[in-house]
Amino acid sequence: MHIIVLVILFLSSTHAKDTVTIVSTNYPPHIWKEDGEVRGLRVELLTELFDRMGYHYIPRIVPWKRAIAMVKTGQVEGIGSVWYRPERESFLHYPKFTFSVEILGIYQPTGAPTIRYQSLEDFQGMKLGIVLGFAYPEEFLESKLFRREEVRSDEQNLLKLSRQRVDVVISDTIVADYKIKQLGLYRKIVRNPYDYNEGIWGYIAFSKRHPRGRQLAQEYDKRIQELVSEGFYQHIFQKYLGRGPDELPTINRK
């Protein structure tokens, strides 16, 4: 009789565990779906973070416009990774702490002269590889100082760079370093010590229309600091990229 009661209590407590749904766009290695399972660097970090908060985390991949609409109406608890914009504070609770920084790095074939990047003039006469649909800065896309060669994926771009068919690739450093690790191109490609930009911080932000939105933002701040202080955050980056994060989450909005 006692065993039956304990089993019922265990099942009840497991079933009663609240869920938190965070919507994102498909963006490997941050988050992607493979063999019916949602995977990624962001997924592993948020699984641990929300588990420490006492929630079962559900990642959902949807187009960006739909993700914004869902968090605006409170259909889901949160969205990630989202940049800070003052106008978004009308429908989002931003935590104090950031989640991950998105830096555009400059990648070159191993042995190429270092580009001491300060302006687009430093690429004059070069052939730059770009990916169809990636949100490059407008001045970069309109510049006549260099040639742009477009491909359909980051993988194609980096393979061309490794064969010296382009001089430079500008890419999100998390995406590029993941692909370089995956393709085994460490010896053929180097990241220039001068990045294209300083980076933009992404947040895990929570819906103001959801009853738990404010509370989740406050709890997030405590748990993300734990993941960093214990080294778990850094470990996940090492696992996916073969290196630690460019910067650790901080109190910052830019």
Q: What is the pLDDT along the chain (254 residues), one digit of tens a residue?
A: 555 544 444 444 444 579 999 999 999 999 999 999 999 999 999 999 999 999 999 999 999 999 999 999 999 999 999 999 999 999 999 999 999 999 999 999 999 999 999 999 999 999 999 998 888 889 999 999 999 999 999 999 999 999 999 999 999 999 999 999 999 999 999 999 999 999 999 999 999 999 999 999 999 999 999 999 999 999 999 999 999 999 999 997 65
Sign of CA dihedral 35, 36, 40, 45: negative
Q: What residues contact residue 205 under an 8 Å CB cut-off, 6+ apart?
A: 71, 78, 79, 80, 82, 88, 92, 93, 94, 95, 217
What distance in Å separates the CA atoms of residue 133 and residue 136, rounded to the nearest whole number? 9
Q: Where are the domains of the chain?
A: 2-101+200-241, 104-191
The pLDDT assigned to 123 comes to 97
Q: Which of 178, 200, 166, 205 is nearest to 70 (CA)?
A: 205
Contact (Cβ atoms closer than 8 angstroms) between residue 146 and residue 126: yes
User: What superfamily in CATH does domain 104-191 come from?
Assistant: Periplasmic binding protein-like II (3.40.190.10)
Q: Which of 69, 83, 74, 170 is nearest to 129 (CA)?
A: 170
Q: Which of 26, 36, 45, 22 is nearest to 241 (CA)?
A: 45
What distance in Å separates the CA atoms of residue 46 and residue 56, rounded to the nearest whole number? 10
The pLDDT assigned to 16 comes to 57
Helix 232-241 to helix 213-229 angle (10° resolution) is: 80
CA distances from 105 to 56, 69, 142, 244 (A): 35, 31, 19, 15
pTM across the whole model = 0.88
Digit-coded pLDDT (tens) for 48-96: 999 999 999 999 999 999 999 999 999 999 999 999 999 999 999 999 9
Topology agreement, domain 2-101+200-241 and domain 104-191? yes
The pLDDT assigned to 3 comes to 52
Q: Which of 95, 99, 100, 97 is nearest to 207 (CA)?
A: 95
CA distances from 150 to 36, 98, 119, 157, 230 (A): 31, 32, 21, 8, 42
What distance in Å separates the CA atoms of residue 143 and residue 92, rounded to the nearest whole number? 36
What distance in Å separates the CA atoms of residue 62 and residue 24, rounded to the nearest whole number? 6
The pLDDT assigned to 209 comes to 96
Domain spanning 2-101+200-241: CATH 3.40.190.10: yes
Element at 223 (helix H, strand E): helix 213-229
CA distances from 146 to 14, 140, 143, 153, 221 (A): 59, 9, 7, 20, 43
Q: What residues contact residue 190 under an 8 Å CB cut-off, 6+ apart?
A: 107, 108, 109, 110, 112
Contact (Cβ atoms closer than 8 angstroms) between residue 39 and residue 32: yes
